Amino acid sequence: MGSNEDIEAAVSRREFISQAGRVAVVVAGTGVVVGGVRVAIPNAAPGASRHVLLGNVGDFRVGTVTWLRDLELFVLRSSEGIGVFSSRCTHLGCTVRRTDAGFQCPCHGASFDPQGRVVTGPARSPLPWYRVSVAPDGSLWADREDVVSTGSLAEEAEVQL
């Protein structure tokens, strides 16, 4: 057998390994809990209010898709009308990026066409579109709790407020 110093060193090593194992379990458990909570929470922006002012209709040019970063929304304006849809992937809520072919989720690779329909998974649902309202003064509003059909465009002449 060794000296007392050897025994103390062995105990310290054992204690270190035990503590390291506990830390690893806590870190892994935290990741599982955070991931589970993220899946359970709806894909609305944190602290998002139901009715959001997007700007004035004139702020969005025909033939463009504008990303409103703070609202986590895209505004699509075409010659047929104007529509608003989420910029958060329906898989786990990561912010999608524009590509030549539509939109791509940088987290897990889901891709969406220019209307937000799923092209490749893991996302199974399209990017949600929201009801758009144009006020008499030309201000554009979206209702985050009123999901409409993918690709639904409101005619600019519509006044729904």
CA distance 107 to 92: 8
pLDDT, position 48: 60
Taking residues 111-135, report their average pLDDT.
91
- Whether residue 114 has pLDDT greater than 60: yes
Per-residue model confidence (pLDDT) at position 67: 92
Which residues, other chains included, contact 105 with Cβ-Cβ below 8 Å and sequence gap of 6+?
89, 91, 94, 96, 97, 111, 112, 123
Q: What is the pLDDT of residue 56?
A: 92
Evaluate if residue 37 carries a pLDDT over 80.
no
Is 51-148 a CATH 3.40.50.960 domain? Answer: no
Q: What is the mean pLDDT of residues 98-109?
A: 90
Q: What is the pTM assigned to this prediction?
A: 0.66
